[in-house]
Amino acid sequence: MNTIQRIAKNTIFLASSNIIGFVFSFFFLVYTTRYLGTERYGLLSFAIAFASITIFLADIGISSVIVRDVARDRSKTAIYIGNSILMKVVLAAITLMSTAAIGFALGYPFSTMKIVMVILLSLIVISFSGIISSVVSAYEIMEYISLGTVIYNLIMLTFALLAISSGVDVYGFAYVYLFSSFISLGYFALVALRKLPRPRWNIDIDLWKYMIKEAIPFGL
């Protein structure tokens, strides 16, 4: 497959998945807002907004560095995957503790912070999926990212409908995001097992320093 054909294929897959994902997201939003109502949906929206800010600490632009560097040299794939996962475990712990500290320092109720932490955990899980999707992007096999987008949005809609039929409260509804993120991570783990080299788990502190230094401008 030549360059033009590859670009065309990737563009078609991404465009198609975006359209399908938008349709699923639209119905998810419609059913969610109608079920939760103004007050409860506002609380969920606040949790998403809060978590979307602090999740920066869990990634800081590492995914962009992975795409750039692995695209240049695929021999770095194994060491980048392994060290990125280990680095994100540390960053995820820092993110969870920092978010909890900020929330309680600002005086938000415990009930609100519970929802924030569930949503934040779902975003952290998605950030781990982002490691694999970044490498897949570098390998230019975008059909797997496209399929992952469709699966994630479909699962979100499915779990939302199940939550609505079960009559869960807004706290329970937050788990729709968490369960969907874990299924998405499982999908990308399968893609990694089939299409990518196995991770190398030896910790490279110099690589950590380099990736963080290069990632921060992307993250900002």
According to DSSP, residue 200 is labeled: P
Contact 60, 175 (CB under 8 A): no
Instruction: Spell out the residues 6+ positions from residue 64 whose beta carbon is closer than 8 angstroms to its own.
Output: 134, 215, 218, 219
User: Which helix or strand (DSSP H or E) is residue 82 part of?
Assistant: helix 77-105
pLDDT value at position 98?
A: 92
Candidates 132, 171, 176; CA nearest to 152 is 176
pLDDT value at position 99?
A: 92
CB atoms within 10 A of CB 21: 19
- Per the structure, the complete domain to which residue 115 belongs is given by 3-219
- Measured in whole angstroms, the distance separating CA 82 from the mean position of its chain's CA atoms is 17
Amino acid sitting at position 206: D
Q: Rounded distance, CA 161 to CA 173, Å?
A: 10
Collapse the DSSP code of 167 into the 3-class scheme (helix H, G, I; strand E, B; otherwise coil) and give the result: coil
CA distances from 209 to 1, 54, 84, 98 (A): 37, 21, 11, 21
pLDDT value at position 125?
A: 93
Q: Domain tally for the chain?
A: 1
Q: Rounded distance, CA 156 to CA 178, Å?
A: 9
Per-10-residue mean pLDDT of the chain, 220 residues long, equals 67 77 88 89 92 85 88 89 92 92 90 92 92 86 83 92 90 91 92 88 89 85
pLDDT value at position 186?
A: 93
Q: Rounded distance, CA 31 to CA 37, Å?
A: 10
Contact 57, 87 (CB under 8 A): no
140: left (phi over 0), alpha (psi -120 to 50) or beta: left
HSE-CB for 37 with a 13 A CA cutoff: 4
pLDDT value at position 175?
A: 93
